[in-house]
Structure 1
Amino acid sequence: MVLEELNEHSITIKKVVEVLIADIEAGSELISSTIKNGNKVLLAGNGGSAGDAQHIAAELTGRFVKERKPLPGIALTTDTSAITAIANDYGYEHVFSRQLEAFAQPGDLFIGISTSGNSMGIINAIQSAKNLNCKTIGLTGKDGGKMNGMCDVNIVVPSDTTARIQEMHILIGHIFCKAVDALF
């Protein structure tokens, strides 16, 4: 079983390297230019993707590898009072879009994470980000779902296995953080 998991992981990494380098570079440039311009990065996802959003935000506000100033990375997945109030009053599919409307400014970047690319909460948040003149990056898997064509950059991990997709999302998030570190 262990060998099977490692082999599947290895195959997914090889596919990512083969087909996603340009998209990951485009995403790295987008997050770097956002930070260079003094704007913030807002992130959201559900379940494990919420954890990934929080992880990437923490790497920005704390540090990744290099000692540098703290940077504005905000995970919209952490305020349980806001999430439950918005879900109760407007529906769960609006918990991230409402927060974006409160916090995002033109020039900011929203990173929406959805393994299927079909999470309505993330899709609504992408639309809100666009309406607010924010740039958008999608981290998806499978076939990219409804997020295809919505994001400035949609990085679609070529796998149908949720665990492999999430593993690649955090790897891609770390690549983004390394690009940001290179600015300092």
Structure 2
Amino acid sequence: MPWKHNLLNLFEVLDTMVVTDGAGVVLDTDAGFSLLVGWVKECREQRRRVYFVGNGASASMASHFSADLGKMAGVPTEVFTDCALITATGNDMGYDQTFAYPLGQRMVPGEILVAISSSGNSPNAVAAVRMAGRLSGRTVTFTAMSPDNAMRSLGDLNFYLPAQTYGMAECGHGIALHHLVDLF
């Protein structure tokens, strides 16, 4: 596949990103980012945290954007990428609890969980989004692949990319998350 074709495909995926609220109502993309920026600013003002979770490349993005948002927005952030925490939680409670369990120990109402999953069906990310909802946290999902993935209907704010490959999904999520950080 020629390079130019990949570039055009990435542009198309980004240009057709769909942002929805918790009721499934489609929002203008800029309005979605504006809402998220407002929530992050509230966290900063109230000294509340923004948590990030993801698996594989999405875990790397979670770590990357936790650091970037903390630095650029001045908001406390946390990411669950500590090897001992992940393996102990996975071993003792099941892999699906690797994010939900520590989130349940830390999150307070009004904080934000940003969950990144290319498939939108990662059991541990889905469990974290559900836990954040039970804790009265705000939930933001970044997903791709299937439009009816599990996480897309769970967030208070959902950024969905109609990417069909992990490469396009991951690149698109990275660009969207860089856009968020750049808004600060």
TM-score range, shorter chain: 0.7 to 0.9
Deviation per residue, 1:42-85 (Å, 9 max, x gap)? 0000000000101110102223xxxx7x32121112x1111111
Whole-Å separation in 1 of the counterparts to 2:171 and 2:178: 11
Question: TM-score normalized by structure 1?
Answer: 0.85
Q: 1:130 to 1:17 in 2, by over 3 A?
A: same
Runs of 4+ in 1 over 3 A off after TM superposition: 18-21
Aligned length, in residue pairs: 172
Aligned to 1:13: 11
Identify the match of residue 61 of structure 1 among 51, 54, 70: 70
Q: How does 1:2-151 map to 2 (within 5 A)?
A: 4-20=2-18, 22-23=28-29, 25-37=31-43, 38=46, 39-63=48-72, 70-77=74-81, 79-144=82-147, 145-151=149-155
Q: 1:121 to 1:27 in 2, by over 3 A?
A: farther
Deviation, structure 1 residue 24:
5.6
Contact map agreement 2:143 2:152 (CA 8 A) in 1: no
Residue 13 of structure 2 contacts residue 172 of structure 2 at CA under 8 Å; is this kept in 1? Answer: no
Shift of 1:23: 4.0
Distance 1:121 1:40, change over 3 A: same
Deviation at 1:163, TM superposition (A): 0.5
Structure 2 unmatched runs, 5+: 20-27
Counterpart Cα distance in 2 of 1:73 and 1:178:
16
Distance 1:170 1:151 in 2: 19
CA RMSD of aligned residues (A): 1.9
Distance 1:92 1:31, change over 3 A: farther
CA distance in 2, matches of 1:158, 1:45: 18
**Corresponding letter in the other structure for 2:115:** G
Q: Are the aligned partners of 1:34 and 1:107 in contact in 2 as well (CA < 8 Å)?
A: no
Aligned CA distance change for structure 1 residues 96 and 178 (closer, same or farther; 3 Å) = same
Identify unmatched segments of 5+ residues in structure 1: none
Q: 1:31 to 1:136 in 2, by over 3 A?
A: farther
Alignment partners' CA distance in 2, 1:80 and 1:23: 35
Which of 169, 173, 177 is equivalent to 1:173?
177
TM-score where L is the length of structure 2: 0.85
Give how far 1:14 is off.
2.5
CA–CA separation in structure 2 for the residues paired with 1:76 and 1:6: 37
SS state of the match for residue 62, structure 2? Answer: helix
SS in 2 for 1:43: strand
Instruction: Tell me, yes or no, if the aligned pair for 1:27 and 1:153 is still in contact at 8 Å.
Output: no
- Offset at 1:6? 4.0
Calculate percent identity across the aligned residue pairs. 26
